[in-house]
Structure 1
Amino acid sequence: MGALKDKMILDMKLRGYSENTIELYTDCMTSLTKEYMISPLKLRPKQVYDFFIKLKENKASEAYLRIFYSAITLFYKIENKSYMTKSIHLPKRTRQIPIVMNKSEVELFLSECRSLQERTIFSTLYSSGIRGSELINLKIADIDFERKTIFISKSKTRKQRYTILSDQAANLLKNYMVTYQPKDFLFYGFRNKNSHVSMRWLQASFQRIVKRAGIKKKVQVHTFRHSFATHLMETGNNLIYIQKLLGHTFLSSTLLYLHADSSTFLKTISPLESINLKYFGSFGNQYQRSFDFST
């Protein structure tokens, strides 16, 4: 895309988009450009529509389709060509119950971290409930050991907030700072201490540890945030406090974790437990033969 990509990046920065979102949107536009091998400005609306349908037919996730739709909508809005996406309609959003790691799985995951850097990064992520994009943007000045807080200056909702810093995470961070000597960004890139680690590195590292730990659930970096919220809810923490820690604008977003909280409703006693099964007698051979599927 060249100059068009640079223009889109600049416009998104001026609008306050996060680096992670900018990367996702420009990747979407690059994939559209590669499909037709011409500038997206020279495409017809039907070509954009056809590519979107192709993504759906290739089983792209609902989340990716929404990201792609947002990317092309913003691009053509910037270029004063909003009509290019008018024929594309997204399916109604389905609110899925988040996948959550239980505490044993979190413990197993952290035990498989093979470096102080990995252990510190993922302990901080789980213990604070912050997003991956918020973690990579943390700076040394954002950590307050005395008040036991982490300051989030760059969030998805563009709202600043504080979240908690646990004692264990604080101890790891202190050791990490002594060992790795960060300058500005808390978790810096391998090639440059003045830049932060990338989301791709974070996601790849997470999946490597998941594989080593033998965790079978379909989890990702964001699962730690889901787990943080659910575990707080399971231990009886105030819903409003959890909302503020997560930085949710609407309480309805936090209420979704009530469905993942198994501390109460999944411990409900089944009505079968009040039925006396002994009155049904035992099953002899004559009953077993009735269900013999080997013949």
Structure 2
Amino acid sequence: MGALKEKMILDMRLRGYSENTIDLYTDCLTRLAKEYMISPLKLKPNQVYDFFIKMKENKASAAYLRIFYSAIKLFYKIENKAYMTKAISLPKKVRKIPIIMNKSEVKAFLSECRSLQERTIFSLLYSSGIRGSELINLRIEDIDFERKTIYILKSKTRKQRYTILSDQAANLLKNYILTYQPKELLFFGFKNKNSHISMRCLQATFQRIAKRAGIKKKVQVHTFRHSFATHLMETGNNLVYIQKLLGHSFFSSTLIYLHTDSSTFLKTISPLESIDLKHFGSFGKKTQGSFDFSM
């Protein structure tokens, strides 16, 4: 797939796709080519269709299928063969309520960071709501200590924006810069200051710290972004402001955090609270004929 891959990479760059998405999409096409051991251009529509059926039978998630579909659809669009994917139908996207960390869990997590670099990185993620992919591409010049802002040049939506820089995160950053002396990239890899840390390394470090902190929820780096938005909402911040800080193109993406906001409908008092169970007395020994869950 050498020449085809290079053509697709060039076309995706011209369309403004991120390098992460380019890698992901070309990997999908490579897998399709290996499945049949021929060029994707020589495949027939029914073979592409059967490929998706096989992935479904192998219990591929809906999200995984959508990524493959987007990659293959784009490839055939570039090659003027859009008809190749018309027979494929995908399950509707189900918007899940995000898992968040409460403030006690955030505090426990940050207390388990064992280096200045770890504390700085994860404090910055939580305090600003930026994505992990945005953090690893931050440059020193993107930080404005005077205006207390962070400039996001490379975002998922390819739109530049500003977000907030908290005082505590700013103090950590100043100390970090003095200690680690980055050149251009703010957070660099272990071997080379000219290359950023990888998302895989960031996720692995996050999981180690979460385990030490005793966090049982299924959390990941992106959980800090969800927690940032939810905690802002719980303290009465305007939804439009939160949308701008997160860089959401659509307001509906921000509205999902209403379902996690414990300051609104989750504060509703249960009707059971109007009944005083203490007046019912205590339970004695089990009487004959009573229902027992242990049976």
TM-score (norm 2): 0.92
Higher alpha-carbon deviation: 198-207 or 101-110: 198-207
Alignment pair present for 1:267 and 2:295: no
Pair 1:148–1:279, CA change in 2 (3 A): closer
Provide the residue aligned with 1:115 in structure 2.
115
Matches within 5 A, 1:79-90: 79-90=79-90
Q: CA deviation at 1:155?
A: 1.4
State the identity as a percent.
84
Partner SS state of residue 150, structure 2: strand
Q: Distance in 1 between matches of 2:43 and 2:199?
A: 31
Q: How does 1:24-35 map to 2 (within 5 A)?
A: 24-35=24-35
Q: Does 2:25 align with 1:51?
A: no
Change (3 A) 1:158 1:92: same
Distance in 1 (alpha carbons) for counterparts of 2:238 and 2:121: 26
What value does the CA root-mean-square deviation take over the aligned residues?
2.0
Q: Which residue of 2 aligns with 1:130?
A: 130
- Name 1:163's counterpart in structure 2: 163
Change (3 A) 1:280 1:215: closer
Contact 1:20/1:199, CA 8 A, preserved across alignment: no
Q: Structure 1 stretches of 5 or more lacking a match?
A: none
Letter in 2 for 1:147: R
TM-score between the two structures when normalised by the length of structure 1: 0.92
Distance 1:209 1:29 in 2: 35
Letter in 1 for 2:36: Y
Residue in 1 that maps onto 2:6: 6
Q: CA deviation at 1:41?
A: 2.0
Report the Cα distance in structure 2 between the residues aligned to 1:240 and 1:89, rounded to whole angstroms: 35
Higher mean C-alpha deviation, range 23-32 or range 95-104: 23-32
Is 1:184 aligned to 2:164, yes or no?
no
Matching of residue 101 in structure 1 with residue 124 in structure 2: no
Q: 1:200 to 1:294 in 2, by over 3 A?
A: closer
Superposed displacement of residue 287, structure 1 = 4.7
2-structure distance, mates of 1:139, 1:249: 24
* Structure 2: distance between partners of 1:35 and 1:20: 23
Mapped partners of 1:169, 1:64: distance in 2: 35
Q: In the alignment, which residue of structure 2 is the partner of 1:60?
A: 60
Which runs of 5 or more residues in structure 2 are unaligned? none
Correspondence for 1:69: 69
Q: Which moved more, 1:90-99 or 1:29-38?
A: 29-38
Partner SS state of residue 290, structure 1: coil
How much does 1:182 deviate? Answer: 1.4
- Superposed, 1:140-155 pairs within 5 Å as 140-155=140-155
Contact persistence 1:112–1:209 (CA under 8 A):
yes
Tell me the CA shift for residue 288 of structure 1: 6.3
- Structure 1, residues 244-267: CA drift from partner, whole Å, max 9, x if none? 101112221111100011123222
- The alignment partner of 1:72 has SS state of helix
Cα offset for 1:34?
2.7
Residue 106 of structure 1: how far off its partner (Å): 1.4
**How has the CA–CA distance of structure 1 residues 36 and 280 changed in structure 2, closer, same or farther, with 3 Å as cutoff?**
same
Structure 1 runs (4+) greater than 6 angstroms displaced: none
* Structure 1: distance between partners of 2:102 and 2:278: 36
Aligned pairs for 1:238-277 within 5 A: 238-277=238-277
Q: What residue identity is the alignment partner of 1:30?
A: T
Note the C-alpha offset of 1:222: 1.2
Amino acid at match of 1:88: I
Structure 1 residue 36 corresponds to structure 2 residue 36? yes
Write the deviation string for residues 78-111 of structure 1: whole angstroms up to 9, x where unpaired.
Answer: 1222111111111111111111111111122222
Matched residue SS, 2:260: coil
Residue of structure 2 equivalent to 1:292: 292
> Equivalents in 2 of 1:277, 1:207: separation in Å?
42
Read off the aligned partner of 2:58 and give its amino acid letter: N
Give 1:201's aligned residue: 201
Q: What is the CA–CA distance in structure 2 between the aligned matches of 1:253 and 1:294, rounded to whole Å? A: 45
1:33·1:40 contact (CA, 8 Å) conserved in 2?
Answer: yes
- TM-superposed deviation, 1:293: 5.5
Amino acid of the structure 1 residue aligned with 2:184:
D
